[in-house]
Amino acid sequence: MGNATFPLVIFCTQRKFNDKSAPDMKYGDLTAEQLKQQFNLHHVSDRVDPYELTKFTAFSNPQSRFAGVYGTARGEALSVGQCAAILFDELRNTSWPFSMYGDYREIINRMFTHMQHEKGADFQDLKLNAALRERIIKDNSNNSTLLAVRKIINDNVDYINKGFPQVLTGQFAYTLSSLVLPKFNDLTDRFNGLGITVHDIHATQITLTQLQVAEKRWSATIKYQCQDHFGLDETDIKNPNFNQFLFFRIWFVLQHYKRFGFKPFMTNMEATFTLSGGLS
């Protein structure tokens, strides 16, 4: 019976990496009329009218008590670039309710700045890698994928042939497919910046990069690679819990309005772990 060779991908989600055809990766695909009629995005910003490309004044802002007092006079005309820059600033300023505290609270604004300037390029951040690592390693539940991998290796490692039987490698995918993969969707994630930046990770791959077997002990290196989409789709903005906030309205318009069309992007995260075990 032959041994497996490494690195060995032991699990990969059905959802693909780099899936630019996903609904939340669309951009620049909607007109002003579609945004207003289909998604009720009439009032998008407290600073500008993105459809008329004008700044609001105290007398033209729909939220102002003075709105309409002097007719429909408009504020300063803006270029598309000037209007978008103001919207991005407002977006960063309105992000704080979703990212109020902790080590990750500034990531959301770095991601919006990335969206503003980097034209859809992939994003990665060492703090997101640290958050992923912490989430995985602190999971001591029965749903822990890391503990499951350790158990499979420990139960099946071949000390005579100094490896892991190739015929048993399917146990990894079979077991891991029934467990809960890393996510950032608990109560604290709603306020620490992780829920709004990552939330439900789109795709995950777990690789057994190396395995060393001695007479009675083994050690292994496991690598998690995760990818999420930083973008909103139509289902998101139709959700009343999102649509009620200017934050999500601005984000959706910057991404989907034909005049702006700022590209969503892939967020890449990774974490590596060393496992060990042996005969008792």
pLDDT of residue 72 exceeding 80, the answer is no
Instruction: Give dist(CA 212, CA 254) in Å, integer.
Output: 50
Give the pLDDT of residue 51: 97
The mean pLDDT value of the chain amounts to: 93
pLDDT of residue 62 exceeding 70, the answer is no
Give the pLDDT of residue 70: 46
Sorting pLDDT into bands at 50, 70 and 90, what band is 187?
confident
State pTM to two decimals.
Answer: 0.90
Give the pLDDT of residue 63: 56
Give the pLDDT of residue 266: 98
Cβ atoms of 253 and 35 within 8 Å: the answer is: yes
Instruction: Give dist(CA 114, CA 108) in Å, integer.
Output: 10
Sorting pLDDT into bands at 50, 70 and 90, what band is 280?
confident
pLDDT of residue 223 exceeding 90, the answer is yes
Average pLDDT over residues 8-15: 96
Instruction: Give dist(CA 253, CA 258) in Å, integer.
Output: 9
Instruction: Give dist(CA 263, CA 280) in Å, integer.
Output: 54
Instruction: Give dist(CA 50, CA 165) in Å, integer.
Output: 61
Give the pLDDT of residue 58: 60
Give the pLDDT of residue 75: 83
Q: Partners of 213 in the beta sheet?
A: 218
pLDDT of residue 224 exceeding 90, the answer is yes
Instruction: Give dist(CA 276, CA 280) in Å, integer.
Output: 12
Average pLDDT over residues 215-242: 96
pLDDT of residue 68 exceeding 60, the answer is no
pLDDT per residue as tens digits for the range 121-156: 999 999 999 999 999 999 999 999 999 999 999 999
pLDDT per residue as tens digits for the range 92-110: 999 998 888 888 889 999 9
H helices of the chain, where? 32-39, 80-93, 107-117, 126-137, 145-156, 170-176, 194-197, 234-238, 240-243, 246-256
Cβ atoms of 42 and 36 within 8 Å: the answer is: yes
Q: Which residue has the higher pLDDT, 280 or 173?
A: 173
Average pLDDT over residues 217-226: 98
Q: In this prediction, what percent of the chain has a pLDDT beyond 90?
A: 83
Average pLDDT over residues 45-58: 92
CA 225 to chain centre: 13
